Amino acid sequence: MPEPTPKTQGIGYKTLMAWLFTAPGLIAQLVFGWLPVLFSFVVSFQKYYFIKEPEFVGAKNFQDVAIDPLVITAFKNTLYFASLSIGLTFLLPIFVSILLMEMSRRTIRIMMILWFVPVASTAGITIWKYMYHPNLGLMNGILRGLGLHELKWLDDPNLAMFSLILPGIILFGPGLIYIAALQNVPEELYEAAEMEGASMLRKIWFITLPRLRPIIAMMLLFSIIGSMQVFELPFIMTGGGPGYATTTVVMYIYSLAFGGYNLGKATALAIVLFGVIMALVLIQRRFFPENIDETPKRA
Amino acid sequence: MPLITQVGRKRFKVRLLLVAIASFLWLGVLLHLFPVAWMISASMKPTTEIFNEPFRIMPKEPTFSSYKLLATTINPAGQALNVDVFRYPLFVYLANSLKIAFMTVLIQLPITAMAAYAVSKLHSKRTARWLFFFFMGTLMIPGQIAIVPRFLLLSHFPWPTRHVPNFPFTDYLMPSFSFIGTYWGVLLPAAFNAFNFLLFKGFFDTLPTELIEAARMDGASELMTLRSIMLPLARPVVAVTGYFTFTGAWNDFLGPWIILMSEQGKWPLSVAMYKLQWVLTNWQPSQGAMDPAVQALISSGVGYNALMALAVVESIPIFIAFMIFREQLMKGIQIAGLKG
């Protein structure tokens, strides 16, 4: 490697320091980042219970996963949650952030501070569980006050999943990352469009959104990965019920491993989930690439 | 102000549009603050009010009795509250949460920042590229996939296998530790964070190399360069990553839940919260007979008011963290925006 040698110290010293700085992170990432992922492939091919000797069983666990009707239910629920969640709440922060930029600097500041007042996450989920309480909850209180008929929210198998998403719609707000990106769009572009007599919607469509595109693509990716792995929200809100109406794949993995102690099957299911998420990510990248110029060419 | 130019802002139609946008945004702010206000108000209601007048906005007779109940392990009649959350007073859970959150920041930020600095400024281009993939690769792999192997790894660290290997040709087992039921089981997996690595590296990349060269010329060691030149410059990034790491560790539920499940004295607030709401909400009037323990709890004054009091206590520390880092956070956003 033709490296420019530092003036005062030898190249050996610099390399040594570089590796010393890297070492703790390297070890942590190797042991807790990569090792469990690699080891999950080993576990998935074993009959593995906490108490018994693990033994190699080939693809048995994957067969178990394939014929388990609850796996199908869990995947259906998870895909339903992911599409509801992305369909109903993904665009909101983009839209709100764009509108927020129209306010004066001072208003933006005040609104942002109020908007990002934090509530601890399990606390937030519990607040909503209280809101949804059939008799004591505010949601039914409001419906009653309006003279509408009350709903059973989390206890209604058809409404439970939507009830998990609803807080995300009611608590609409801007996204930090979109605001950061919007501050970057050169103002001259809008001025130029103004000269041409472009309407507000056209400006959003032809200037703002294309500029945000890489970030939207990235956030969409994270939303897919995140919502396919949803655990805490249904685990605390509904415990997977009523029946299995809100049991997600990760919840089922959790209950297979720590409720049924079937570690091999749990891990096999985790790998199947990984495969499904990767497939979705590939589809997303094919149809929504970060760079416009890379839009799939038609043959 | 990019969509509506300054010039046109006096026209009636444009003004109307601006007012509409502003009201929409303020509505969002209010809707966001309302559950917080509702949580505080409910936490100060006496139990009878929770049941008899559930929809009063302001408590009729505000009381701190729910907070007092959480701070003890006995009910007003002097009997032990017979539900596991009340085996320890609130301070224990609060202290545990603080321990976990602060330790995570203290362990994770230096390790991550040092690795990011080395990859950005010290390694050769080729090594840096490999290390970058090594560090970032797990970000693409869904984290929940490895719950089971991570648990196994932590239960006989550093061996992920069920059996700890022997020293070759002997009967002696190699050393192993169980981190289940210890704080290390929660802290160690968080020692490195790929997302913070990305933020730090992105920032170090924008700093000119001449800065380090100059420090080296003056005889500064690499550690001194990082500590006294790079980190002070990176203050907004440290603030943003520090805040998000703190709140992330504070909010983490699944990790402490799996690792510390059997060690109640080490539970953080997030786990205590889950347990209390589970006890209270798994019974519903429609289900008929109430669990006697729950019955006793409710007659001791533990209801949704106590649950909301716990939620308030769980939220206060991260609210304080938010107020402390507020300015830095807003600045951090602008910096993130600048480098785009």
- Choose the closest CB to B258 out of A7, A8, A258: A258
DSSP state of B169: T
Please indicate whether residue A277 or residue B159 has the higher confidence score (pLDDT).
A277
Q: How many CB atoms lie within 10 A of CB B254?
A: 17
Are B188 and A28 an interchain contact pair (Cβ–Cβ within 8 Å)? Answer: yes
* pLDDT, tens only, B199-210: 888 888 888 888
Q: Do B153 and A39 touch (CB under 8 A)?
A: yes
Residue A132 contacts B where some CB pair is shorter than 8 Å: no
Dihedral sign, Cα of residue B245, residue B248, residue B250, residue B256: negative
* B145 to A273: CB separation less than 8 angstroms, yes or no: yes
The answer to whether the Cβ–Cβ distance between B194 and A253 falls below 8 Å is: no
B211 Cβ under 8 Å from any chain A Cβ: no
Question: Which residues on chain B are in Cβ contact (under 8 Å) with A116?
Answer: 322, 329
From the list B4, B35, B330, which residue is nearest A102 (CB)? B4
A-to-B residue pairs, Cβ atoms closer than 8 angstroms: 311
Confidence grade of residue A272 (pLDDT, cut at 50, 70, 90): very high
Which pLDDT band holds residue A9 (cuts at 50, 70, 90)? low
β-partners of residue B177 are: B157
Q: What is the pLDDT of residue A94?
A: 92
Q: Which residue has the higher pLDDT, A92 or A65?
A: A92
Q: How confident is the prediction for chain A on average, in pLDDT?
A: 84
Beta bridge partners of B232: none
Q: Is B2 on the interface with A (CB under 8 A)?
A: yes
pLDDT at residue A1 greater than cutoff 90: no
Domains of chain A: 1-44 (no CATH), 61-294 (1.10.3720.10)
- Higher-scoring residue by pLDDT: A237, A296: A237
Q: Who contacts A78 (Cβ-Cβ below 8 Å, separation ≥6)?
A: A228, A230, A248, A249, A250
pLDDT digits (tens, 9 = 90+) for A173-188: 888 888 888 887 777 8
Burial, B45: exposed, middle or buried (Cβ in 10 Å; 0-12, 13-18, 19+)? buried
| Residue A294: per-residue pLDDT | 47
In terms of CA atoms, which chain A residue is nearest residue B240? A176
Whether the model pTM is above 0.90: no
Q: What is the ipTM of this complex?
A: 0.85
Q: Say if CB B66 and CB B306 are below 8 A apart.
A: yes
Which residues from chain A sit within 8 angstroms of residue B219, using beta carbons?
Answer: 8
Gap between the Cα atoms of B335 and B340, Å rounded: 8
Question: Looking at residues A67-96, what average pLDDT do you find?
Answer: 92
The reported pLDDT for the residue numbered A101 is 86
**B253 vs A232: CB contact, 8 Å cut-off?**
yes
Residue A176 with chain B: CB contacts under 8 Å: 333
CA distance B246 to B250: 6
How far apart (Å, rounded) are the C-alpha atoms in residues B165 and B184?
23
Residue B282: the pLDDT is: 67
Q: Which residues of chain B have pLDDT under 50?
A: 337-340
Instruction: Just give the CATH number of B71-339.
Output: 1.10.3720.10
